[in-house]
Amino acid sequence: MNKISKRIIKYMVLINLVVILVGFILTSSILPKIYINNEYSDLEIASEYVLEAAKNNTVIDLTDIYAVLVNDGSVKNMCRTISRGQGSSGNNSGSGMGHMGQMGMMNHSKNIDFTSVKNKDIFKDDDGNTYIGIKKSSDYGDIVVYKDYEEIRSLIKSVNLIIVAIFIFSLVLSIIIAFYLGEKFTKPIIALQKRADNISKGIYENTLEVTTNDEIEELNNSINKMSEELKIKDTMQREFISNVSHDLKTPLSVIRANSEVIKDGLVEGEEVVDYATNIIEEVDILSSLVGEILVLSKLRENKSTINLADTNLVDFINESYYKLKNIVSINNNLVIKNELDDRNYYVKIDNNYLYRVLTNFITNAIKHSKSTRDEITFGIKSIENGVEIYVRDYGIGIDEESLKNIWDRYYKGDKSGGMGLGLAISKEIIMSHGFLYGVRSKLGEGSEFYFIVPNKLIKKI
Ligand code: ADP
């Protein structure tokens, strides 16, 4: 049996116990009171008839009820008691009369001290039998009407027995139900656990079909979604390793070939310089590649120190614009748009890192611009929750599926030409400043990459 089933059974048994205990206490305390009050009412009615009989100096017939008239120490039987059955006869051993369907004057009045009976009372005869009775004063003496009390006792006993039987039955039933429920609920959970184990081993297939229409189905959907995303990330990582190997291999081969040519003395004079320059260029490519990977891993592990300094935002944007203009190719137009009227926005930023973000946005915009409209807008504007800095191009745009992944490491589209690290690095830099980031894009119409400096990080001096 699994743990959940065991737990359900435990709680079911506990609930049952509490319910039965409460039921037991209530029935054993309330039931006798109700019954005794009923008996007093019955005796009260019977006493009216007995009084009538006393008046007429006769005796009456009463079922299971005895009545006596006590006057100056003498006790006179006032009724012929008809017994309903065996149940009520057991206590009349002292009477000398059995009353299985019999009828007769009762004698056990001899064994009872009627003078000490109270108006409403439960009392005993000399043989220890218990009775319930009422006493009423009349012109003819005290009338005592009473009956066996044992009946009530045996009734309560039966009720308690029934409760115990119900308890045992419901306990067994609840254990069976709990077992069934436990198995029913844990089956999909165990299947999900196996699926999660498989995912951790890199097995993303074998999706489960769960149609329980509850949280378990939602959990299954989340696991399926997680599995899909992990699969994409896994593929990206594999592609990255093969890309890195390829990207490292190409410059390394060039470096090796050029070095061999120089070493073997196959080139002389100016040509040696050309070959050496070529080697230096390839080394630069290699070192920037390794540098990017290092920066990203440091940023992700929070090991890279970001040097924040109070900076005038508009000045930073203007300076960046002039530097960026140099990297924009002759074909592209870089337009600056400053919609921020107030120049006194000061923000704590790391100039170098944030400039790196802008460079990445701009180089991507250039890469993905269309020859028909190669304009790029670089702007700053005030929005409701802060100040937004954006780079807008009118290029190929990004489809919805890719939009989910572009900020991930190693993700790159067809026109990339890079390592797929630029936006991942930008994202880390933006987040480490406490800024927000995003992209608005429409396929075929262009993209707008932006980051937002929230109001709480802006000091207006
Ligand atoms: P890389 O430029 O090395 O490919 P990035 O992380 O900078 O890596 O960009 C990831 C991908 O996002 C790009 O390969 C490209 O598919 C997409 N992308 C980024 N900027 C733009 C843009 N302005 N227009 C269209 N696609 C873009």
**Same structural domain for residues 383 and 442?**
yes
Query: Looking at ligand 1, which residue's alpha carbon is closest to its atom 15?
Result: 413
Residue 175, pLDDT score: 84
Q: Rounded distance, CA 282 to CA 250, Å?
A: 9
Query: Looking at ligand 1, which residue's alpha carbon is closest to its atom 18?
Result: 364
Ligand 1: does its nearest atom lie under 6 Å from the Cβ of 419? yes
Task: Report the residue among 361, 412, 414 best suited for mutation to probe ligand 1: largest number of ligand atoms under 8 A from its CB.
Answer: 412
Q: Which residues of 243-281 are buried (b: 16+ CB within 10 A; e: fewer)?
A: beeebeeebeebbeebeeeeeeeeeeeeeeeebeebbee
Pick from 388, 387, 376, 398: which is nearest to 444 by CA?
398
Q: Which of 136, 154, 172 is the last residue of a domain?
A: 154
**Same structural domain for residues 258 and 238?**
yes
Residue 89, pLDDT score: 38
Domain for residue 193, yes or no?
no
Burial tier of 380 (Cβ tally within 10 Å: 0-12, 13-18, 19+): buried
Domain for residue 442, yes or no?
yes
Query: Looking at ligand 1, which residue's alpha carbon is closest to its atom 20?
Result: 364
Other beta carbons less than 10 A from residue 78's beta carbon: 26
Task: Report the residue among 423, 440, 441, 448 best suited for mutation to probe ligand 1: largest number of ligand atoms under 8 A from its CB.
Answer: 423
**How close is the Cα of 460 to the center of ligand 1, in Å?**
34
H and E: helices and strands count for the chain: 8, 16
Q: 3-class DSSP state for residue 192?
A: helix
Ligand 1: does its nearest atom lie under 6 Å from the Cβ of 360? yes
CA distances from 34 to 41, 42, 118, 163 (A): 11, 13, 20, 18
Place of tokens 């019954």: 35
**Same structural domain for residues 272 and 335?**
no
Task: Report the residue among 299, 406, 428, 449 best suited for mutation to probe ligand 1: largest number of ligand atoms under 8 A from its CB.
Answer: 406
Number of separate domains in the chain: 3
DSSP of 251-262, one letter per residue?
HHHHHHHHHHHH
Q: Rounded distance, CA 135 to CA 383, Å?
A: 94
Ligand 1: does its nearest atom lie under 6 Å from the Cβ of 365? yes
Q: Which residues contact 221 (CB under 8 A, 6 or more apart)?
A: none
Q: Rounded distance, CA 81 to CA 106, Å?
A: 7
**Same structural domain for residues 23 and 93?**
yes
**How close is the Cα of 426 to the center of ligand 1, in Å?**
11
Residue 109, pLDDT score: 57
**Containing domain of residue 71, as a range?**
3-154
Domain for residue 207, yes or no?
no
- CATH number for the domain that contains residue 365: 3.30.565.10
**How close is the Cα of 389 to the center of ligand 1, in Å?**
18
Burial tier of 436 (Cβ tally within 10 Å: 0-12, 13-18, 19+): middle
- CATH number for the domain that contains residue 284: 1.10.287.130
Ligand 1: does its nearest atom lie under 6 Å from the Cβ of 98? no
Q: Rounded distance, CA 370 to CA 363, Å?
A: 13
**How close is the Cα of 373 to the center of ligand 1, in Å?**
18
Query: Looking at ligand 1, which residue's alpha carbon is closest to its atom 16?
Result: 413
**How close is the Cα of 249 to the center of ligand 1, in Å?**
23
Domain for residue 105, yes or no?
yes
Query: Looking at ligand 1, which residue's alpha carbon is closest to its atom 8?
Result: 420
**Same structural domain for residues 148 and 251?**
no
**Same structural domain for residues 222 and 350?**
no
**Same structural domain for residues 346 and 402?**
yes
**Same structural domain for residues 292 and 393?**
no
**Same structural domain for residues 36 and 86?**
yes
Ligand 1: does its nearest atom lie under 6 Å from the Cβ of 409? no
Q: Which of 273, 300, 327 is the last residue of a domain?
A: 300
Q: Under a CB-based contact definition with an 8 Å cutoff, are residues 50 and 43 in contact?
A: no
Domain for residue 170, yes or no?
no
**Same structural domain for residues 252 and 386?**
no
Q: Under a CB-based contact definition with an 8 Å cutoff, are residues 377 and 392 in contact?
A: yes
Angle at 362 between CA 360 and CA 368, to 5 degrees: 100
Show the tokens assigned to 228: 């899909």
**How close is the Cα of 412 to the center of ligand 1, in Å?**
6
Place of tokens 């390794």: 290
Domain for residue 208, yes or no?
no
Residue 460, pLDDT score: 82
Ligand 1: does its nearest atom lie under 6 Å from the Cβ of 406? yes
Ligand 1: does its nearest atom lie under 6 Å from the Cβ of 422? yes
Closest atom of ligand 1 to 365 CA is 23
Q: Rounded distance, CA 152 to CA 383, Å?
A: 84
**Same structural domain for residues 319 and 423?**
yes
Q: Which residues of 88-127 are buried (b: 16+ CB within 10 A; e: fewer)?
A: bbebbebbebebeeeeeebebbebbebeebeeeeebebee
Ligand 1: does its nearest atom lie under 6 Å from the Cβ of 212? no
**How close is the Cα of 405 to the center of ligand 1, in Å?**
10
**How close is the Cα of 377 to the center of ligand 1, in Å?**
17
Residue 306 has φ and ψ, to the nearest 5°, of -95, 125
Q: Which of 300, 318, 341 is the last residue of a domain?
A: 300
Ligand 1: does its nearest atom lie under 6 Å from the Cβ of 420? yes
Residue 86, pLDDT score: 43
Q: What is the pLDDT along the chain (461 residues), one digit of tens a residue?
A: 777 778 888 888 888 888 878 887 887 788 788 888 999 999 999 999 999 999 998 989 988 899 999 988 888 888 888 876 544 333 333 333 333 344 544 555 558 889 899 999 999 888 888 999 999 999 989 999 999 888 777 877 888 788 788 878 888 888 888 888 888 888 888 889 999 999 999 898 878 888 888 888 999 999 999 999 898 888 878 877 887 787 788 889 999 999 999 999 999 889 999 999 999 999 998 898 888 888 887 887 776 678 899 999 999 999 998 888 887 776 678 788 877 766 788 999 999 999 999 999 999 999 998 888 888 999 999 999 999 999 999 999 999 989 989 998 878 887 777 778 899 999 999 999 999 999 999 999 999 999 999 999 999 87
Ligand 1: does its nearest atom lie under 6 Å from the Cβ of 393? yes
**How close is the Cα of 231 to the center of ligand 1, in Å?**
21
Question: How many whole angstroms from its chain centre is CA 8?
Answer: 18
Domain for residue 425, yes or no?
yes
Place of tokens 């109070």: 310
Domain for residue 86, yes or no?
yes
**Same structural domain for residues 8 and 123?**
yes
What strands lie across the sheet with 446-454, from one edge to the other? 333-338, 375-383, 386-393, 446-454, 436-442
Ligand 1: does its nearest atom lie under 6 Å from the Cβ of 70? no
